Structure 1
Amino acid sequence: MCIIVMFVQDNGRIGDEFMRQIESIAAYTPYMTCPGNHEWVANFSQYRSRFSMPGDTESLWYSWNIGPAHIISFSTEVYFYLEFGLDLLFTQYQWLRSDLEVRMGRNDTTPPAPGLEDLFYQYGVDLELWAHEHTYERLWPVYNYKVLNGSSEEPYVNPKAPVHIITGSAGCREKHDGFIPHPRDWSAFRSSDYGYTRMHVINHTHLYLEQVSDDQYGKVIDKMMLVKEKHGAHAWS
């Protein structure tokens, strides 16, 4: 599980209380964490002091292998809280590029600016999971505002761009975020139900993902099978 704690409020006391409440589960259930916008106070200092994830980056970003999957956890918050300087932004970008280069087994030319879309596209990232928005949305494979499906019949079979899933519907006292009235071409499915996402990496080529609605008592409201028969950079595939 991924834990997001509201350390920003009451000098971390809200976060402390939350951590006490989940002790009985967190003590026995493996979990991974990543910082979000609620952890920004004092340059994420409370988050850094509480968690110990792999690597030597104070748990702010890291990667690990599980079965056939290589999973990267990183922070988009470094693009927003620039009052703390640009060091975190550029350090994370350089780390991301190095991590992807190792996975690809080559050193490609990547953009010098610390943007993410070109980086993930060129290094062939298959799936990108995002949160923050208190909703769920599945996108068609998309890059540079263009839908790049594998085919019209099987859009997620050998897609020509990364697949984006926005899964932030676990619940929040701020309630749901609204959708724009008319979705863009790359929006395949969206829902404002509270719920959660399950993902199963079946093997080196197949990944199954489904969205479960808590509002509908555990009903699976969306599902997708992502198939990549050949892994590699989208830009040169």
Structure 2
Amino acid sequence: MMRRLWAILCITAIALVSVRPARTMPADVQVRRDVDLFHSFGRYLREKLVHGREVVFDRPLVQFFQRASTQGEWFKHVLKGLEGYFPFDPNLSGQLSLFFSALVEGTWFEPQNNGTCQCCDPSNPLYAYHVHIGMTGNAGEVVISYNTQEKPPQSCLYVAEEHTSNQTKFCTEDVRTTSLGSGLSPFLCTGWSGYASHVKVNGLQPGKRYTYTIPGSPGNVSYTFMAPYGNTTKTTKLAYFTDIGTKGGEPVINTLLSRLDDFDYMIMPGDQSYCDGYHGCFDAYMKLIQPLAAQKPYMVATGNHEGPWNFSYVRTNFYFPVSESGAAPDALWYSFDEGPIHFVMMNYENYFDYPDGEWSMTQPAPISTYPGQIEWLRRDLEAFAKRREHDPSLWLIMMAHRPLTCNVTDKSCNHFGPILEQDVFPLMYEYKADMYWCGHVHAYERVSPINNVTRELCSDCVRDNATLYYKPPYPVQIMNGIAGRAVADNDYFTPGVSYPPFVAQHYSSINYPYGGYALVSVDNNVLNFTLYNTSGAVLDHFRIEK
């Protein structure tokens, strides 16, 4: 029975693949037919296999399908299975392998009929989409970013104290756009059109709530937010997550929307959408997170899934406070202060292996690879160290997308981690970083303070069954890559296996398909860290006392 059904699938795949247009066909026709191929494939599979999938797939795949709710997950594994049984045309097969992760997140997203990605609604070209707030590290200052289909005559918005009508007008000349280059064309669209405006709003009173309004047609867009404190307060509270995904990120996004009083801003060290350069899919992610990111500042670092097309989407649509933190204008690293914490965002994603405008996935490299990054980092940490001499209660949290010390059977831990450590650990130790945050590996792991050379645990600072770190001399490392439901397909930690004594807690994403996020609070000399899943369960909790 299994062979007969697989034969039917393969014959169908041949028929479907045979309708793929030649590469010389106009791009819009090619895209429409590629999309039609997947839609036809999906309809066939749903009709023929939905009642007999236990006959076709082995039990682990059946269990995976039952956990996954997105159409993309179904396609992903069916296509992988078919590729193993039937050799697709090499060109199609190669593009499918690049398309898998975007397919997971993007099959529910319908491209425009002309086969191009348009950021917004062409019939309302000046209406604001993908609205989100960023911080600069200065007290009472934010940057409000948004997309429009056409370039506005003036990129302006209006800000007033909440429940008042006395508005102040803020405008910007920082309006950006991008175009995709001559590399491999994405399936979902052949280009991208739109403009990103970044309006700096300053002179606000820290801690006070304000309402901003972005004028447009057919209507205005308004949200309320709290002005950040910068480094003018000794307390702060935030949400931290990474590897969230688009459709798969909805549970975490919706949960955070229900807990708005529990955090003031969000930290996201990379892999926001899993769209791999498919800009229309990234737009869909921004629509999902807008209700959250338009009222809570959203600070991001770059991950490997932001890399294709030379990080063009994040470079265009996000404001990184590089000038405020002394970095180069095109840097993918920066720092900022909020409350008593100095946050340092680093970048390991190597974008030198391909020219601007080419599609390529990034690979990690030490921070010394990137001109100016390690020099900037040392200057930044030196300036912070001088401030902390006068105020020892200040905190230093450094982060990047990829892990340093981690303990799963994966090249990110076994191969790349030790390479990346060589530049970062000496600086973290010299400048007494309190924590290192990352993601990338789709699991959660907490590593207690260790000497990176000897790997010895700081036994005298670990107390109360590793729920308290008292005056640790080394940073606590957190790998939190379980925010997305659609990436919950990795079972890294094997029950019964003995891990090093410095591994305080770990979870595989496969066991928590509803997403995980952390809420972090600091009050003077005490930091509290709690990891939740979206069912409300507490997965991990600890505190650090200086």
TM-score exceeds 0.5: yes
Distance in 2 (alpha carbons) for counterparts of 1:98 and 1:90: 14
Corresponding residue for 2:477? Answer: 164
1:150 Cα shift? Answer: 3.9
Distance in 2 (alpha carbons) for counterparts of 1:173 and 1:59: 30
Corresponding residue for 1:140? Answer: 448
Does residue 324 of structure 2 align to residue 6 of structure 1? no
Query: Structure 1 residues 5 and 58 mapped into 2: Cα distance closer, same or farther (>3 Å)?
Result: farther
Does residue 318 of structure 2 align to residue 60 of structure 1? no
Query: Structure 1 residues 88 and 152 mapped into 2: Cα distance closer, same or farther (>3 Å)?
Result: closer
Does residue 542 of structure 2 align to residue 224 of structure 1? yes
Distance in 1 (alpha carbons) for counterparts of 2:448 and 2:542: 11
1:29 Cα shift? Answer: 2.3
Does residue 403 of structure 2 align to residue 83 of structure 1? no
Deviations 1:120-153 (A, max 9, x none): 1111001111111222111110122221244353
Identify the match of residue 533 of structure 2 among 192, 213, 218: 213
Identify the match of residue 117 of structure 1 among 425, 431, 439: 425
Does residue 513 of structure 2 align to residue 198 of structure 1? no
Does residue 313 of structure 2 align to residue 46 of structure 1? yes
Does residue 420 of structure 2 align to residue 99 of structure 1? no
Name the Cα RMSD after superposition: 2.6
Percent of aligned positions with the same letter in both sequences?
31
Corresponding residue for 2:342? Answer: 70
Deviations 1:6-25 (A, max 9, x none): 34243x22112211233333
1:84 Cα shift? Answer: 4.9
Larger deviation, residues 143-152 vs 126-135 = 143-152
Distance in 2 (alpha carbons) for counterparts of 1:30 and 1:17: 19
Corresponding residue for 2:493? Answer: 179
Distance in 1 (alpha carbons) for counterparts of 2:540 and 2:530: 5
Q: Which amino acid aligns with 2:430?
A: Q
1:213 Cα shift? Answer: 2.2
TM-score, normalised via structure 2 length: 0.37
Distance in 2 (alpha carbons) for counterparts of 1:122 and 1:60: 23
**Unaligned residue ranges in structure 2 (runs of 5+):** 1-265, 324-328, 356-364, 388-420
Deviations 1:6-47 (A, max 9, x none): 34243x221122112333332222211111110111321221
Number of aligned residues: 216
Query: Structure 1 residues 52 and 58 mapped into 2: Cα distance closer, same or farther (>3 Å)?
Result: farther
Q: Which amino acid aligns with 2:381?
A: L
Query: Structure 1 residues 152 and 202 mapped into 2: Cα distance closer, same or farther (>3 Å)?
Result: closer
Distance in 2 (alpha carbons) for counterparts of 1:200 and 1:164: 16
3-state SS of the aligned residue for 2:446?
A: strand
Larger deviation, residues 88-97 vs 132-141 = 88-97
Confirm or deny: 8 A CA contact 1:51 1:59 kept in the other structure. Answer: no
Query: Structure 1 residues 172 and 91 mapped into 2: Cα distance closer, same or farther (>3 Å)?
Result: farther
3-state SS of the aligned residue for 2:441?
A: coil
3-state SS of the aligned residue for 1:138?
A: strand
Larger Rg over CA atoms: 2
Query: Structure 1 residues 171 and 7 mapped into 2: Cα distance closer, same or farther (>3 Å)?
Result: closer
Higher helix share goes to which structure? 2
Query: Structure 1 residues 206 and 13 mapped into 2: Cα distance closer, same or farther (>3 Å)?
Result: same
Distance in 2 (alpha carbons) for counterparts of 1:199 and 1:26: 18
Confirm or deny: 8 A CA contact 1:197 1:211 kept in the other structure. Answer: yes
Query: Structure 1 residues 125 and 9 mapped into 2: Cα distance closer, same or farther (>3 Å)?
Result: same
1:58 Cα shift? Answer: 4.2
Confirm or deny: 8 A CA contact 1:52 1:59 kept in the other structure. Answer: no
